Amino acid sequence: MLTLGIETSCDETAVSVTNGKKVLSNCVSSSVHLHALYGGVVPEIASRFHVEYILEVLSKALKDSDRALKDMRLVAVTNGPGLVGALLTGISLAKSISYSLNLPLIGVNHIHAHLNSAFLNDEDRPNFPFIGLVVSGGHTSLFFSEGVYRQTLLGQTQDDAVGEAYDKVAKILKLGYPGGPVIERRARLSKNRKKVIFPRTYLGKDSLDFSFSGIKTAVLYYVEKLRVTHYGLRVTEINDICYAFQEAALDVLVEKAFLAARIKDVKSIVVGGGVAANSRLRGKFYEAARFGKPVKVYFPKREYCLDNAAMVGVLGEELYKKGHRSDLYLSAEPNLNCGG
Ligand code: KG4
Ligand code: ZN
């Protein structure tokens, strides 16, 4: 069933054409370079970028898939959570296509779409039930996933999301935005891996919630102390700080995901969202899976970790086949519940 997927919840303008779990095209245009000046996403800039580029991205997605708009049988669009002005651009486009071509319309939860992205274009797919961990710029959430639309929220961040912590630490270190890729790169260059150790926040022995504001503050105090000792940080010091921050943040993610797998007695963990593109995170999960009860860890292909429309189209089609429907009253839900 040819499905047009549309995603505009944050700073990526994305359109896809999918058929079942097969991705025929997946076009993304990002306004990330415009937000880099400010060290984080500026909602007004994101909204204007979506309005300016969405039709071009739509044309490219159709062209790449070698299909026309009239071939589509379903329109799936992210309707939350996200930035309200940004979401509205995608929703308006989806509604106008649905109305003019008389196509069914379905609203998709962005977080559930991230959770589903390990199923895209991949033969080695996880079976339900599994523990789902979504790690992005806006969310750090653990789910017990029993089916495409049966997600129970087990825990989530009480303050910063892990991707947000990467971005804020990069800002403290003046490394630019987004922080994730540059911190990963700089951490790899660290030569003095025992020099700094930042605290890991667990919020109690059996807690499945997260907190990343403490690590970020610890980095800030450490950097301020260094700046008093000598003006400006040395390149090697920045690399060591990146390493220590990344180790602390990722250790907590790994431990909590495996704790959830033990509590729920499941054999699979699925990780999705922008931070899941990180190689050190993948390595730590694979390493942890070698010990204790057998647990298999699944990651999406890297192109489906960051925001994209293919994950929205694929989930939208599954939901449609299970009887879910939206109508032209579909609204943007900036705080859409993640389930549970
Ligand atoms: O899923 P995503 O594209 O957007 C949201 O839904 O938030 O995730 C963006 C986040 C940013 O915070 C970015 O710094 C982080 O993902 N990120 C990474 C990496 N690539 C992107 N974090 C760690 N390592 C990476 N390689
Ligand atoms: Zn996302």
pLDDT of residue 340: 38
Pocket lining: 260 vs ligand 1, CB cutoff 6 Å: no
Pocket lining: 81 vs ligand 1, CB cutoff 6 Å: no
Pocket lining: 277 vs ligand 1, CB cutoff 6 Å: yes
Residue 224 pLDDT more than 60? yes
Span 52-80, pLDDT tens digits: 999 999 999 999 999 999 999 999 999 99
- Going 321 to 322 to 327 to 331, the CA torsion angle's sign is negative
Pocket lining: 184 vs ligand 1, CB cutoff 6 Å: yes
CA distances from 281 to 80, 162, 242 (A): 26, 12, 14
What's the mean pLDDT in 212-237? 90
- Going 233 to 238 to 240 to 241, the CA torsion angle's sign is positive
What's the mean pLDDT in 308-329? 96
**Number of other residues whose CB lies within 10 A of the CB of residue 250:** 22
pTM of the entire structure? 0.93
pLDDT of residue 335: 84
Pocket lining: 300 vs ligand 1, CB cutoff 6 Å: no
Pairing of β 105-109 and β 130-135: unpaired
What's the 278 CA to ligand 1 centre distance in angstroms?
Answer: 9
Amino acid identity of residue 171, one-letter, is K
CA–CA dist 274, 125 (Å, integer): 19
What's the 157 CA to ligand 2 centre distance in angstroms?
Answer: 15
pLDDT of residue 193: 87
pLDDT of residue 337: 65
Residue 338 pLDDT more than 80? no
Q: Which of 136, 140, 304 to mutate to test the pocket of ligand 1 (most atoms within 8 A of CB)?
A: 136
Pocket lining: 82 vs ligand 1, CB cutoff 6 Å: no
